[in-house]
Amino acid sequence: MKSSAVHRLRLVSAPEGLSFLLLLVCSVLKRTTDFNAVPVMGSVHGALFVLYVVFLALAWQKQRWDAKRGAILFVLSVLPFGGFVAERMLAKEERGEYPAAGEPATA
């Protein structure tokens, strides 16, 4: 079932994941070189993370996901590369390959 809430969450999940990885790289560079992009990258990542959480809450409510699916999507947002996994999971849901809430999973 295609939902605009799921689509918005999907659109922000990959950039949020990328910004997290770039922030980690900037943190390493700050400690090993004179390059310090942490304040800028931290702000960018913070804004994308807030958008992700807001869009997650909206999609969770609209799609009536169970607590497990919502929790998995939240945990993915705080793991390196998790945003990319979330994006793929949400893409499958948009294509109808991932069962909607209340539907049994097919083998």
In a domain, 53, yes or no: yes
**Long-range contacts of range 45-53, CB-CB < 8 Å, 24 or more positions apart?**
45/16, 45/19, 45/20, 48/12, 48/15, 48/16, 48/19, 49/16, 49/19, 49/20, 49/77, 51/12, 51/16, 52/9, 52/12, 52/13, 52/16, 52/77, 52/83, 53/77
pTM: 0.85
In a domain, 60, yes or no: yes
In a domain, 100, yes or no: no
Structurally, the chain folds into a number of domains equal to 1
In a domain, 65, yes or no: yes
Largest CA distance in the chain: 54
In a domain, 103, yes or no: no
In a domain, 102, yes or no: no
pLDDT at 102 over 60: no
Per-residue tokens: 44:
């960018």
Percent of the chain whose predicted confidence (pLDDT) is above 70 = 90
pLDDT band at residue 9 using 50, 70 and 90 as cut-offs: very high
pLDDT tens for each residue of 43-77: 999 999 999 999 999 999 999 999 999 999 999 99
In a domain, 105, yes or no: no
Q: Domain span at residue 38?
A: 4-95
Mean pLDDT in residue range 32-43:
95
pLDDT of residue 25: 96
In a domain, 21, yes or no: yes
pLDDT at 106 over 70: no
